[in-house]
């Protein structure tokens, strides 16, 4: 505990909830809601610093509203006219919720089960103490130098404190094993925050094996971390960032499940489904893993005859949906050893694929990787011998609440079982209410940023048990880069400012005005004839090209 | 008001109209004044010079320095000793003066609440106004003077800003008519200040507050 802390308020008495108390501060001790305060109580004969979070602040003594009647006349002037002293007259009543004292054996907060008695002096909790006890770092003291710890991600600092005063370093192993959700309206900083985490995970202290499923091409600038000073290890470590563009994203046809195939086909009849299933299973029993639509049709014709109408209709559909889709290939597959490696972040650029293809490639890749992880943990031959972490932009697209995606099953499996097999998922989404509830509620750590939509706020409330009501109340008012971090990676939720990236952010919204002006100039440079000829308007007053 | 600006730029405290004299008090800040009639002085106050809300002052020498104790008429009362009596009156009209301490004739009484004090300067006007509670007690028979509007303004001006810091005390004393006496004072001040004086708007806000509180107290809103 650091020496003398200045007293900022005095406990007045218990609050409404069993864990709440009320205290009073004068105006000059401006304490914001969300601030962490401490007081000392004796628990089992030992003096403990108990932490509490300020949840509400109201003025109990101040100038009456009537003094504000004329916007041109300051309330202080009115007060002076009436001889009312205005210095330090305001008194605030604040409500705080007890978080607990830091139990160094359990390395988390323990509830003292008693409220501070009236008159107990309160202080602002010291920065270093908060840095130690707020995140779930497992420190065995309540005040450590957390920058010394390996395997942590410096995410930002407490929003209520000055910039970089109370830094929040979250344990990477927590969110990488029990999954992560980054939820916020569009433009609030989801991709930015994810990039901050990726940067932290790629540093020499962690050397993670990361995959980013990027449907919008928002992670182009991550490549800057290669060769960047902040990421070099003393042993010569230098992280790799690998981009997989859509041309290299291939799904080997034999990797598809019968369910996947049904999903891509156009309205197959019952009979067609039955025939396809039988043939598909037969193909999958074969030794060869490299067969295509031709082999499949041969198999069906062998079973049902050359002129079977259903087989004919299936052939037409299969050729259209599978053979003519570049994503599917009899042989090519994304080689797992190319996309997963420690110290490597692979960005799967899916921006030119349509939604179906994005879902299919994701489904197949997740299944293959999960299988490999299972094998690795069960000491069988495996292509992936280390834990992996995969981040999904547009998470609701891959695990939709509507159930309408082939990837949903495997996403559910990984979020509920992946912890045992070293397979962590990070779900990023601007529509929490559109994410499958099972998947969302399995994300042990949550970073929630500005969210205004009430449905989405409810979705967070329902699935994020760790974040208390008082913290969630903040969500609508946050600005880009501000976040509530809660869940497994934290001992208690905290409102933070996400730090700036070390590399530049690539997902800036394009400047519309600039784009319009550029496009207009472009148009002006085109030859004018075609336009007037096309419309045959002799007296066109449009601006003509000068060249 | 019309007579004010031209010849009476700095009204002389000694030539102010005498309104009456103190006959009793209800408390330290609350005095009863009997209004002068023809018989009591050369120039008794005219009706508008002793109206409700009229500021007044009483001169007091304290420790060698002359002070003006400032007050305001917050209430009036008529006394008619004959009321309720029947039959012919026993006392003659001019007998009243032989029974001091008793009011035996028709009289107007005024309630005066004290507001604060100021120092009387050599040029017979006031300086150093304060709205703190006057500590000195007035005496029976002390003369109460009509306070000219210019003096009222300077009593209310502290550091260039209008003040009515006695307001809560005045409301306590004046009771039901507290809001009205304050509004009357504010009106008087407003009339004396230039239209574009920033204090005008401050006075508006104060007046609104007072009236609103009075309405609330009276159950109107
Ligand atoms: N921690 C931060 N520090 C500074 N600026 C930030 C921070 N977080 C976000 N921003 C700013 O906000 C902008 C939007 O962030 P970002 O691209 O991450 O939003 P998003 O939530 O991913 O939006 P979308 O849903 O459109 O993908 C960024 O371009 C950046 O300028
Ligand atoms: Mg984004």
At A239-276, the pLDDT tens digits run 999 999 888 888 899 988 888 888 788 788 999 999 99
Among A44, A58, A76, A79, CA closest to A15: A58
A374 and A476 fall within a common domain: yes
The pLDDT assigned to A267 comes to 82
| Tally of domains within chain B | 1
pLDDT at B101 exceeding the cut of 60: no
| Tally of domains within chain A | 3
- Does ligand 1 come within 6 angstroms of the Cβ of A241? no
Q: Is residue A141 part of a domain?
A: no
The pLDDT assigned to A516 comes to 87
A260 and A207 fall within a common domain: no
The pLDDT assigned to A508 comes to 64
The single-letter DSSP state of residue A323 is I
By alpha-carbon position, which residue is closest to atom 16 of ligand 1? A189
**How many angstroms is it from A195 CA to the middle of ligand 1?**
10
Q: Which domain holds residue B41?
A: 3-82+96-165
Q: Which domain holds residue A301?
A: 252-329
| DSSP assignment string, A452-471 | --HHHHHHHHHH-TTS-HHH
Q: Of the residues A221, A392, A505, A511, which should be mutated to test ligand 1's pocket, given the most ligand atoms within 8 Å of the CB?
A: A505
What is the ipTM metric for this complex? 0.75
Please say whether the beta carbons of B104 and B34 come within 8 A: no
Most confident of A82-96, A125-139, A457-471: A125-139
A34 and A115 fall within a common domain: yes
The pLDDT assigned to B10 comes to 64
Q: How confident is the model at residue A31 (pLDDT cuts 50, 70, 90)?
A: confident
The share of chain B scoring above pLDDT 90, in percent, equals 64
Q: What is the CATH number of the domain that holds A219?
A: 3.40.50.300
A354 and A403 fall within a common domain: yes
A30 and A89 fall within a common domain: yes
Among A375, A468, A378, CA closest to A54: A468
Sequence-ordered alpha helix ranges (H) in chain B: 4-7, 149-155, 167-174, 178-192, 199-217
The better pLDDT of the pair B56, B86 is held by B56
Q: Is residue A295 part of a domain?
A: yes
Taking only the tens place, the pLDDT of each residue in A279-291 is 999 998 999 889 9
Closest in B165, B167, B212 to A66, CB measured: B212
A365 and A473 fall within a common domain: yes
Backbone angles phi, psi at A76, to 5 degrees: -65, -35
A320 and A362 fall within a common domain: no
Taking only the tens place, the pLDDT of each residue in A93-129 is 999 999 999 998 889 999 988 899 999 999 999 999 9
Taking only the tens place, the pLDDT of each residue in B148-185 is 999 999 999 988 889 999 999 999 999 889 999 999 99
Q: Kindly report the nearest CA distance between residue A62 and chain B, in angstroms.
A: 15
Q: How confident is the model at residue A526 (pLDDT cuts 50, 70, 90)?
A: confident
A76 shares contact with chain B (CB less than 8 Å): no
Which range (A49-58, A83-92, A198-207, B68-77) has the least confidence? A83-92
Taking only the tens place, the pLDDT of each residue in A390-428 is 999 999 999 999 988 899 999 999 999 989 999 999 999
- Does ligand 1 come within 6 angstroms of the Cβ of A508? yes
Q: Kindly report the nearest CA distance between residue A72 and chain B, in angstroms.
A: 8
What's the average model confidence in pLDDT over A326-333?
89
What's the average model confidence in pLDDT over A9-19?
92
- Does ligand 1 come within 6 angstroms of the Cβ of A430? yes
Distance of CA A507 to CAs A161, A511, A542, B129, Å?
A: 28, 12, 37, 68
A232 and A352 fall within a common domain: yes
The pLDDT assigned to A56 comes to 87
- Does ligand 1 come within 6 angstroms of the Cβ of A187? yes
Closest in B206, B212, B213 to A81, CB measured: B206
| CA–CA distance, A206 with A157 (Å, rounded to integer) | 21
pLDDT at B97 exceeding the cut of 70: no
A222 and A324 fall within a common domain: no
């Amino acid at each position: 505990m650091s020496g003398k802390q200045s007293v900022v308020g005095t406990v007045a008495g218990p609050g409404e909830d069993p864990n709440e108390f009320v205290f009073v501060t004068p105006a000059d001790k401006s304490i914001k809601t969300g601030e962490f305060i401490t007081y000392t109580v004796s628990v089992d004969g030992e003096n403990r610093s108990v932490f509490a979070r300020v949840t509400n602040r109201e003025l109990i003594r101040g100038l009456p509203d009537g003094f504000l009647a004329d916007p041109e006349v300051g309330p202080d002037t009115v007060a002076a006219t009436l001889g009312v002293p205005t210095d330090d007259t305001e008194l605030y009543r604040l409500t705080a919720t007890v978080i607990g004292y830091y139990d160094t054996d359990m390395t988390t907060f323990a509830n003292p089960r008693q409220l501070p008695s009236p008159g107990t002096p309160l202080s602002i909790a010291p920065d270093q103490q908060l840095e130690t006890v707020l995140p779930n770092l497992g420190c065995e003291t309540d005040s450590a130098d957390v920058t010394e710890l390996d395997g942590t991600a410096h995410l930002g600092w407490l929003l209520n404190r000055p910039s970089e005063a109370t830094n929040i370093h979250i344990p990477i192993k927590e969110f990488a094993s029990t999954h992560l959700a980054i939820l916020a309206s569009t433009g609030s900083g989801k991709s930015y925050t994810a990039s901050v985490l990726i940067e932290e995970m790629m540093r020499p202290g962690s050397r993670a094996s990361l995959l980013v499923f990027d449907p919008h091409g928002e992670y182009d600038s991550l490549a800057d971390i290669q060769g960047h000073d902040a990421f070099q290890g003393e042993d010569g470590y230098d992280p790799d960032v690998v981009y997989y563009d859509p041309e290299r994203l291939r799904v080997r046809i034999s990797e598809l499940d019968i369910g996947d195939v049904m999903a891509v086909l156009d309205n197959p009849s019952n009979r067609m489904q039955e025939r396809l299933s039988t043939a598909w299973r037969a193909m999958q029993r074969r030794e060869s893993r490299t067969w295509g639509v031709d082999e499949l049709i041969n198999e069906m014709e062998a079973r049902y005859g050359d002129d079977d109408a259903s087989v004919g209709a299936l052939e037409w559909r299969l050729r259209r949906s599978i053979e003519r889709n570049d994503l599917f290939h009899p042989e090519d597959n994304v080689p797992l050893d190319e996309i997963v490696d420690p110290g490597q972040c692979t960005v799967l650029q899916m921006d030119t694929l349509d939604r179906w293809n994005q879902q299919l490639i994701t489904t197949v890749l997740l299944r293959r990787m999960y299988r490999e992880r299972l094998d690795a943990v069960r000491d069988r031959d495996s292509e992936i011998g280390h834990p992996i972490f995969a981040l999904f932009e547009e998470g609701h697209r891959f695990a939709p609440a509507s159930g309408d995606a082939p990837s949903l099953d495997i996403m559910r499996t990984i979020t509920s079982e992946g912890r045992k097999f070293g397979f962590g998922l990070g779900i990023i989404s601007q529509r929490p209410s559109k994410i499958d509830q099972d998947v969302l509620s399995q994300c042990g750590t949550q970073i929630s940023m500005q969210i205004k939509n009430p449905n989405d706020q409810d979705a967070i409330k329902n699935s994020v048990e760790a974040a208390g009501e008082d913290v969630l109340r903040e969500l609508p008012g946050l600005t880009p880069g501000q976040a509530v971090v809660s869940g497994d990676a934290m001992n208690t939720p905290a409102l933070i400012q996400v730090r700036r990236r070390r590399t530049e952010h690539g997902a800036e919204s394009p400047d519309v005005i600039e784009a319009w002006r550029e496009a207009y100039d472009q148009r002006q440079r085109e030859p004018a004839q075609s336009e007037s000829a096309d419309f045959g308007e002799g007296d066109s007053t449009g601006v003509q090209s000068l060249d | 008001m019309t007579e004010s600006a031209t010849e009476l730029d700095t009204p002389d405290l000694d030539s102010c109209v005498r309104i009456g004299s103190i006959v009793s008090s209800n408390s330290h800040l609350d005095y009863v004044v009997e209004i002068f009639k023809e018989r009591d002085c050369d120039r008794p106050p005219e009706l508008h010079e002793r109206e409700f809300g009229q500021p007044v002052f009483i001169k007091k020498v304290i420790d060698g320095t002359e002070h003006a104790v400032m007050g305001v008429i917050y209430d009036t009362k008529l006394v008619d000793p004959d009321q309720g009596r029947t039959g012919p009156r026993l006392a003659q009209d001019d007998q009243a003066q032989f029974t001091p301490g008793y009011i035996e004739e028709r009289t107007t009484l005024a309630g005066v609440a004290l507001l604060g004090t100021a120092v009387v300067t050599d040029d017979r006007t006031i300086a150093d106004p304060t709205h703190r509670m006057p500590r000195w007690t007035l005496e029976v028979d002390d003369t109460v003077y009509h306070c000219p509007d210019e003096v009222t303004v300077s009593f209310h001006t502290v550091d260039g800003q209008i003040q009515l810091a006695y307001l809560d005390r005045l409301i306590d004393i004046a009771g039901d008519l507290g809001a009205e006496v304050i509004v009357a004072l504010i009106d008087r001040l407003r009339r004396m200040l230039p239209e574009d004086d920033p204090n005008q708007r401050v006075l508006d806000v104060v007046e609104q507050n007072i009236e609103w509180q009075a309405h609330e107290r009276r159950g109107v809103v």
